[in-house]
Structures are given as structure tokens and as C-alpha cells.
Structure 1
Amino acid sequence: MSEKPSSSSVSSEEDDNVLKPEVLEKYKAAARISQDALTRVVQACIVGKSVVELADIGDRTIEEMTSAIYNVEKDEEPIEKGVAFPTCISINECVGNYSPEAEDTRKIAEGDVVKIDLGCHIDGYTACASHTVIVSSSPVTDARADATEAAWVAADAVAKSLVPGTKTIAISAIIKKIAAAYGVFPVDGVLSHCMKRFVIDGNKTIPNLLSASNIPMDPNAEVELDDVFCIDVVMSTKEPKTNKRGQIIPEVEGEPIPPPAAPKELGDKFRPTVYKRNVEEQFMLRLKTSRQLMSEIQKKHATFPFSIRSLRTKLPRIGIKEMIEHNMLSTYPPMFLKPGTFVAQVKLTCIVTEKGVQVLCGGAASASILSAAHHSEKAITDPEILSILQKPLTVGSAPSAKKNKKKNKKKKSAEKSQEEDKKKKEDNSKAESK
């Protein structure tokens, strides 16, 4: 992979983000893979399964499926594709970004609330999805179900609120109302981003909770036609502590963890494991390990976030440390709330079209993997929210009908040609026998 994104299909940054048919199809292809990977991890999420195994299923599925599509001839420029966000398995009070290291021994236990988060890209066009699983052999209707259902309903409502001309900052109020109805709390510091080609964290955002520390870069930003949003909704069963600025104070056993990384005495499980290359930052690294690591990142993860588990360079943390010192890497630190808190997440990718919002993966597209056994006993009664939830959505990322018609036409033409060839052979055979 090159440091600067490239493609044979588009020639300028402006053209990159116009939803032409070929661009839309790449988004849909990435979404189908993300949804398939998410479904496989959800199905494997059972008591006794290791977090490393689950993360490997997600990443491996994405790598295998992307390797089978959009391949080019040897003399053509290859299309970049693969993992856009490494599979994270965040359990219970862990809010997110927990992509386990290879040596992680943690396993799924009865009663765990497991958040699965991943993403795929084709030629820089990204589709991300997340789903929350309550691992329980018996039905759950307690606060865990409240948070999970609230996240699901809020993500659905946010998607249905993406009407061109709507200010993104106004949508946050919908999340807060739904959280209140279920008796749970939106987690601060979480943002839904409008995505662009090779950019998963665009500047147009929707705060999960509007607070002093979580104000969008552009508070006047509006939803526009052809916007591609990654909707990320995160709910907590307990209200997180905040400081005077309204920022969440992460806790472990009652002790605050100073961001971005936890003190060493709290254990390695709190170390960041997800990073992203800051392509605009350049520096001649001093250590050989750092230079080897830099070379690997340039080839495999030049643009998108990656997990330390995916690296093959020996002692990668030595190189990571030097790269962070020179601002060459961004860190995605895992954040934990107080033990006994349960956090639920729903993430979906959707497109704002002339006919309405189309959910490509996650959210409503994950309805088939939603557990009917676990449900909240609370419900939405607010007329405004109910009216939003009644709006229609287009769900799924199947190829367009027009494309299918062309495929069917080609198939019928090929079958007809085969029949004609078969008939000719039979006639020739009869003629020869005479």
C-alpha cells in the first residue's frame, strides 16, 4: 500500500466522494463483507470462546472475502482493500477499542455483554458495523437489556433522522431522549462520523451526547444528499462520573485512569492496541525496529486503523513508542467505566439518498442476528420519537436490480449459446452416422 491513496477509477478528491454507480457498488461490497464478518463473530460468541479467537474470525473473514473481489491484471494498478477497522471485542464495562493482543487469555463468560466492532473497505470506501451480544443461557430483561435495546432503537432513530438540511448537532437530542426512556445513559466522547474515501472519521459529526467536551468541529453542519454516515450509538447502565468540563472520568475499581493510557501498575490489558498512521507526519526514525515497523505499516496499514495483533515486526511496541513520540501514530485507547457497569453499542453504515436513508450494514441490517430472548420491559412513549421510528428505511447492500438484470440476461444468453452448440453437435453426429 502506498502512503497516498490511489485509484484508477477516480482522479480527484472531489470525484472520490461523488456517489457514482461504481463508488456506490464499492460501498455495498464493503458492507456485505462487514455484515458477513459481524454475523460470523456473533454466532461464535459463546461461553468459553477466547476474545482472540473472536477477533481473528472477524479480521480473517474480511481479509479472505476482500481478496476474492476487485482483483486486477498484473499490469494494472491494484485496488486497496481489506480491514478498515480491526475487530474489537469489548466486554461489559469496556466502552470500546479493545482489540486483544495475541497473548490475551480472556474468555467469554456467562452473563457478559459483548460489543463486536469492525470495518471493511474496498478502494477506500468504508463500511463499519457493531453489534452487542448478551451471552446468557436464560432470557435477560434487566439493565443489560435496557442498554442494548436503547442503543438499537437510538441507532435506528438517528438513521431515520438523516434528512437533508437537518443540523447534525440537533440529532443528539434524540439519542438522549431514547436513553432516558430506557433508564440508561449515552456515553460521552462517542461520535458518529460522515465518511469519505479513505477517511472514517470525517469532520461532520453527530455527538452521542452533546457536552462541553463533545461539541462538533462544525456545529452548523447539516445532513446532505449522498452523505455516508457511520452511526455509532453507545449506552451505559450507569451514569459515568464527569469532571467540571463535562468529560467522562474512566474508572477501574473506583480509581480514575488518566487518558490516553493507563498506568503500568493497572496491568497490560489497559494498554492501547489499535493505532492509525498519521500520514502527514514524517520523521527519520532512529531505531532499526521502528524503521522495520514503519515499513510494515506503510505496506499494510497506510491509511486505516490497525491492531497490534496484525503486525509481524518483532517487539512492535518499541517501534510504536518512538513513532508516537514523533506524532506518527494516533492511538485508539480502550476506555473502561466502573466495574458493574454494562455498556452496549450499535454501529451502522448508511447513505442519504433521494429516496431516503439506506442502511448498508449494522443496525437494521443486523435484524437476523438480534436475540429475541433478551428484551427490555421498557418502551418509548414520546410521540416525537415514535413518529421518527415509524419512518421507512431501505435495508441491505444487495447489488442493484439493474445490475442483476444484466447478469441474468448474460446468464440466459450463455445458456442459449450452450443449447445451440449442443444441438449442432447432435446434428453433426447424426450426419456422420448416416
Structure 2
Amino acid sequence: MAEEATVDYTLNNPDTLTKYKTSAQISHKVLDAVIGWCLEGEKILSICERGDKLLEEEVAKVYKGKKISKGISHPTTISPSSFVTPYTPLSSDAEEALIALKANEAVKIQLGAQIDGFGTIVCDTIIVPGEKNKDDKLVGREADLLLATHHANELLLRLMIPPGLLASGTDEEKKKAASEKPLSQTKITHLLEKVVKSYGCNLVEGTTSWLFERNEIEGKKKIVLAPSSEGGKGEGVPEIGDVWGVEVGVSLGTGKVKTLENRPTLHRRTTITHQLGRTSSRRTLSEIVKKFGTFPFSLRQLADERAAKVGVVECVRSNVLRQYEVVADKDSVPVARVLSTVAITKNGLVRLTGPSAPDESKYKTEKKIIDEEILNILEQPTARLTGAKGKNKKKKKKSAKKVAEDDDEESSDED
């Protein structure tokens, strides 16, 4: 224990960022594979199982022989069109096990890996290939939804940068910028609403970004977007040295949500201890602790899925486990969701994981962002760029301005 206490697990230790980056590479590699499997008629359960198997295989390839924990930080989940939360059906629930993907529906894919307790999670939204979006072109409301989500995510990432961190100019100007107060979460929600409403969309209520820590994906700080009347409120502000899971949810409807009757199959161990009465409960919890620690898991990942469904009941009732309810859009309309894992360093944001940037030349919509305040923020960099990376700065600025210009004109320039 004494040796454990001497280890620096903050970003001040270069090994910490290396482990985050390693887990992020695995997360992205598996995400790319899972996206390729998401075709019309494919069963969600089968894709989730294949995704978890690939996560385990890729994790096994790194840090061989090292006495550190490593594994899955978030199981593969595939959430259909109107589903908001991560969804992962069980083979023992016959009806849900048969659910297959439909052409042209918005599907949310979420998964993650962890090395030595440093977990990264990524979520991206895709439109399942179909006749309507052949040749990878998106038109109408699907285009509105994904563009609104992309630009809202880019805006939120910039709003998370501590005041003055990337300020330029004289020392006096830098000092003045650094003295500004961080934006309130009410203001953050207000700015993001401007973005999504430009595309005729709304934020999903209660979407939450969390501080990530070692062996913890729901730390002491959080940002809650569009909080509901019953929901919690945000706490704390992003600071240098933080790692965050940054999430954005956007709906083609009002953004209000409802809890479905589907069985909760995603769980996570809490820090609460309790003397469990049932042998089956203790056996299930013991397996969970050994395999997953405090990271989320699906009941299908346990040795005996049917026994697990029984064993978790007392664990949830005693608050030893938290179960994630299956939540969907109240209007039953398509929802998009993205999640990035970012580290805040003295040079700005390090994007460890995140959704892929859309090729906007293939998105056909008459809607666009015209608010100058939003456009100016989107033009700001997320990190200091030097050397060869500086060449990309102009491209990023151009992309931000592009949302306020005609798509047909800009798409040829962007190429």
C-alpha cells in the first residue's frame, strides 16, 4: 500500500497520458470496426458481442507482462433511433435479442477500453446505410441532426477550455483573459441551444459530461446540459489536469425523455458497501468486482447471464450496483449522441477519443448557423498549434466559417 501511495496518477506523470492514449487508440480501432458492422438487418446483440470480443483482443496486445489492470471501460452498446442511453440487449431476453438495425436510422455506438484504470470512452452516431443515404450522402432531417450534433460538440469542447489558457497578445491581455470567470452551465446550455436550434433540433435534457479519474468515469465534477426539473445540476468547472468525458445529445423533437420498460442490462459498481444476504448476489458481485472493478458492464458479459439477472437484483436494491435505465426520446423521434474523452493540459485540449468529423460536402440541408457569437467561438483553436500542425489551423478556421456559407460553393473549396 505504501508503494501505491507514492505513484503519481495525474497528468503530471507522462505515463498517465500514455496509458490514456493507448486505451484511446484501442477504443477508436474497435469503434471503426463496429461502424462497419452496422448494416441493415444486423442484430444489435451480435454486434455488441463482436465489439466486446475485439476490445478484449486488442487490450490483450498491450502492456504484456505488466502487473496492471486493463480491460473494457464501457461495453459495446448500440442504441437504435430514438434511444438516448447506451443499449445492450441479452441473449436470454428472446424478443430483444432479435432486434435488428433498420436502414436510414440514427444509431449511437458507444464503447471503451481502460489501461491501469485510465479509461477512455467514445460514442458516435451514424445513419445505417440505405437507399435514402446511398453514396454516403445525407439529406433533410438526418443531415440537420448530425450537423447540429457535430457543431454543438465542437462548441462545447471550446467552452470547456479554462479562461485565458490559450490567450494571445500582451502579458496584460493574457492576464485579463485569465481573470475572467468560467461560463456558468446555464450559459453553456444557452449557447449550445443556439447551435442546435439553427438546425431545427433541441438538446436532449439532462445530457451529462463527467470528470474522469483513475478507475472512475463519474468523478466529483459534472456538466449537465438542459437539466430537467427533476434532474441534478452541474458541479465544478474544467481545469488544467482534468480528463473529461464530454457528451452531447441532440433530438429532432423537443429533447424531452422517457424511461422505457426494457430491462436495464447496463450496470456499474458504486462505492457503497453492504452485507448481501443472498448467496447468488454475493457470487455475482464477486465476479463483477474481479472482472470490471468500477467500470460499466453488461449482464451478458458475466459467466451465467440468467444467474446474473437474479444476482444483481439485491445488489441494485442495496445500492451496491447502479443500474442504467433504458431511456428514449419522449416523442419517439431520432436522437444523435456523441461522447469524447479529452485531457486538459497547459497547451489546451488533447482529444483522446471523439466522433469522426463529418464530410460536410455530403450533407445537404438549407439550415446553417448564422449567429456571429457562435461562429466566432467555433473559429477558436482547442490547443496551441506549432510547426507542421500550424498548417491545419487555416483549414479548421475555414471549416467553422463554412457553416455560414453556401454548401455548394464551399464543398469544392474544402476539397
**Normalization by structure 1: what TM-score?**
0.76
| 2:90 aligned partner | 101
Q: Is the 8 A contact 2:249 2:337 kept in 1?
A: yes
Is the counterpart of residue 239 in structure 1 residue 254 in structure 2? yes
Supply the AA of the counterpart residue of 1:199: E
The range that moved more, 42-51 or 372-381, is: 372-381
What residue in structure 2 maps to residue 80 of structure 1? 69
Q: Provide Cα deviations, 1:230-270, integer angstroms capped at 9, x if missing partner.
A: 110000101145xxxxxx4x1xxxxxx5xxx73xxxxxxx1
Structure 2 regions of 5+ residues with no counterpart?
164-181, 385-415
The 8 Å contact of residues 189 and 213 in structure 1, kept in 2 or not, is answered as no
Per-residue deviation, 1:97: 2.0
How does 1:236-385 map onto structure 2 within 5 Å?
236-241=251-256, 248=257, 250=258, 257=259, 262=261, 270-286=262-278, 288-313=279-304, 314-338=306-330, 340-363=332-355, 366-367=356-357, 373-385=362-374
Q: Which residue of 2 aligns with 1:148?
A: 146
Q: Is residue 45 of structure 2 the alignment partner of residue 28 of structure 1? A: no
Deviations 1:147-178 (A, max 9, x none): 22111111111112222142462422222111
Q: Residues 76-128 of structure 1, C-alpha deviation per residue, up to 9 Å, x if partnerless?
A: xx211111111111111111221121251111111211100112111111111
Asked if 2 retains the 8 angstrom alpha-carbon contact of 1:146 and 1:183, the reply is yes
How many residues align? The count is 355
* Alignment-mate amino acid for residue 122 of structure 2: A
Secondary structure, counterpart of 1:16 in structure 2: coil
Q: Kindly provide the CA deviation profile for residues 269-297 of structure 1, in whole angstroms up to 9, marking residues without a partner as x.
A: x11010011233221332x3222212211
Query: 1:343 & 1:115 partners in 2: Cα distance?
Result: 8
Letter in 1 for 2:253: K
With over 3 angstroms needed to count, the CA separation of the structure-2 counterparts of 1:153 and 1:87, relative to structure 1, is same
- Provide the rounded CA distance (Å) in 1 between the counterparts of 2:363 and 2:101: 18
Counterpart residue identity of residue 173, structure 1: H
Q: How high is the TM-score relative to the length of structure 2?
A: 0.79
Contiguous gaps of at least 5 residues in structure 1: 1-5, 242-247, 251-256, 263-269, 396-434
* Structure 1 counterpart SS, 2:275: coil
Query: Amino acid of the residue matched to residue 321 of structure 1?
Result: V
Distance 1:315 1:150, change over 3 A: same
**Aligned with 1:188 (options 178, 193, 205):** 205
2:51 touches 2:76 (CA, 8 Å); kept in 1? yes
How far does residue 205 in structure 1 lie from its aligned partner after superposition? 1.6
Give the C-alpha shift of residue 374 in structure 1.
4.3
Larger Rg: 1 or 2?
A: 1
**Residue matched to 2:80:** 91
Native 8 Å contact 1:359 1:394 kept in 2: no
Q: Percent identity?
A: 30
Q: 1:370 to 1:79 in 2, by over 3 A?
A: farther
2:239–2:344 CA contact under 8 A, matched in 1: yes
Q: Distance in 2 between matches of 1:57 and 1:148?
A: 26
Aligned match of 1:229: 244
Residue in structure 2 matched with residue 130 of structure 1 by the alignment: 123
RMSD: 2.4
